[in-house]
Amino acid sequence: MLYPLPAVMISCADEEGRSNIMTAAWTGTICSDPVMVSVSIRPERYSHDVIARTGEFVINLTTEDLTFAADFCGVRSGRDVDKFEYLHLTKVPSKKVGAPSIGESPVCLECVVTGIEKLGTHDLFIAKVVQVSVDESYLDEKGRFVLEDAGLVAYVHGTYLSLGKKLGTFGFSVRKKERKEQRRTPLRDADRSEKRKAERSAERTDAAAKRKKERSAGKTDAAAKQKKERSAERTDAAAKRKKAPSANTAADRPDGKKKH
Ligand SMILES: Cc1cc2nc3c(=O)[nH]c(=O)nc-3n(C[C@H](O)[C@H](O)[C@H](O)COP(=O)(O)O)c2cc1C
């Protein structure tokens, strides 16, 4: 088999707006103009029929922070659990498709299915990318998208792995000038990149903590309200019981027996 693979999170929504996420590793870019992708999905997956019917899905790239969620979405079915809710993932309305995007993902590709090919165990979904959304915290001072700082994850033969050190950039093997510059300033460049990476990571951690706090504040309010309502119900019921004649004495019962 071919490795490494991306383990992406595919989000979709049915006609009633009920959303779901499944993990897929058998996915790839298959054309650059128009931008097209493919995903191989087994017919027995809950997502299979939703995507086949609606013709829409979103590919959300997976980061180190999303690895737990990605694994969960790959071992539990949307038939049994609302994965967005269970994992506290942020459901973001997509721009061009009905399927929601995952707010915590750095890159979301909105896709429209153009064909489904039955291959055997899997059906190959071929789709056009109609919208790309990126997390702007990964844009550098020049507006360049620094995807290598996003903490993307690779899937290799059953194991999720972080990506390692930078080994070069596209075409570096034939670019003489860059090779010389790399030799001259390797440490300074590496330091800058590490610093930027640390700053972005701190920003993301802050944002995640803020989101968690907001969510838990919302939950605390709702729980307090529910507790108050239940307590009021209990008080009413107790008052009613007090007023009603007791049915636990032999005299109160038609059969004359005492209830236990
Ligand atoms: C890392 C990983 C990669 C996976 N890749 C695929 C895939 O490419 N195609 C597929 O049909 N299922 C794949 N699965 C399995 C589905 O994600 C899994 O069956 C999931 O529970 C389906 O969810 P659903 O029933 O809610 O659609 C993968 C699972 C994991 C953990």
pLDDT at residue 180, as a whole number: 60
From residue 188, give the alpha-carbon distance in Å to each of 13, 175, 192, 208.
47, 20, 6, 30
Kindly state if the Cβ of 50 falls inside 6 Å of ligand 1: no
Look up residue 213 and give its amino acid. Answer: K
Residue 248 belongs to some domain of the structure: no
Kindly state if the Cβ of 42 falls inside 6 Å of ligand 1: yes
Q: Do residue 156 and residue 221 come from a single domain?
A: no
CATH for 14: 2.30.110.10
Tell me the CA–centroid distance for residue 31 and ligand 1, in Å: 23
pLDDT at residue 230, as a whole number: 66
Domain housing 11: 5-164
Mean pLDDT by 10 residues, the chain (260 residues): 96 98 98 98 98 98 98 98 98 98 98 98 98 92 88 97 92 80 56 68 73 64 64 67 45 37
Q: Do residue 121 and residue 189 come from a single domain?
A: no
Tell me the CA–centroid distance for residue 174 and ligand 1, in Å: 40
Q: Please say which residue of 113, 130, 164 terminates a domain.
A: 164
User: DSSP secondary-structure letter at 232?
Assistant: H
Cis ω before 34 (30° cut-off from 0): yes
Q: Do residue 112 and residue 155 come from a single domain?
A: yes
How many independent structural domains does the chain possess?
2
Q: Are 92 and 120 spatial neighbours (Cβ–Cβ below 8 Å)?
A: no
pLDDT at residue 102, as a whole number: 98
Q: Are 45 and 67 spatial neighbours (Cβ–Cβ below 8 Å)?
A: no
Kindly state if the Cβ of 41 falls inside 6 Å of ligand 1: yes
Helix (H) or strand (E) segment spanning residue 235? helix 186-243
pLDDT at residue 216, as a whole number: 67
Q: Do residue 117 and residue 36 come from a single domain?
A: yes
pLDDT at residue 170, as a whole number: 92
pLDDT at residue 119, as a whole number: 98
pLDDT at residue 186, as a whole number: 53
Residue 252 belongs to some domain of the structure: no
pLDDT at residue 159, as a whole number: 98
Q: In angstroms, rounded to a whole number, what is the distance separating the alpha carbons of residues 227 and 152?
A: 42
Q: Which two tokens stand for residue 237?
A: 């019921």
Tell me the CA–centroid distance for residue 136 and ligand 1, in Å: 29
Q: Do residue 187 and residue 138 come from a single domain?
A: no
φ, ψ of residue 174 to 5 degrees: the values are -115, 5
Q: Do residue 60 and residue 157 come from a single domain?
A: yes
Residue 220 belongs to some domain of the structure: yes
Q: Please say which residue of 133, 164, 195 terminates a domain.
A: 164
Q: Are 75 and 89 spatial neighbours (Cβ–Cβ below 8 Å)?
A: no
Residue 254 belongs to some domain of the structure: no
Kindly state if the Cβ of 7 falls inside 6 Å of ligand 1: yes
Tell me the CA–centroid distance for residue 152 and ligand 1, in Å: 19
pLDDT at residue 252, as a whole number: 36
pLDDT at residue 227, as a whole number: 62
Query: Closest Cα to atom 17, ligand 1: which residue?
Result: 74
Residue 257 belongs to some domain of the structure: no
Q: Do residue 158 and residue 39 come from a single domain?
A: yes
Q: Please say which residue of 164, 195, 217 terminates a domain.
A: 164
Tell me the CA–centroid distance for residue 153 and ligand 1, in Å: 16
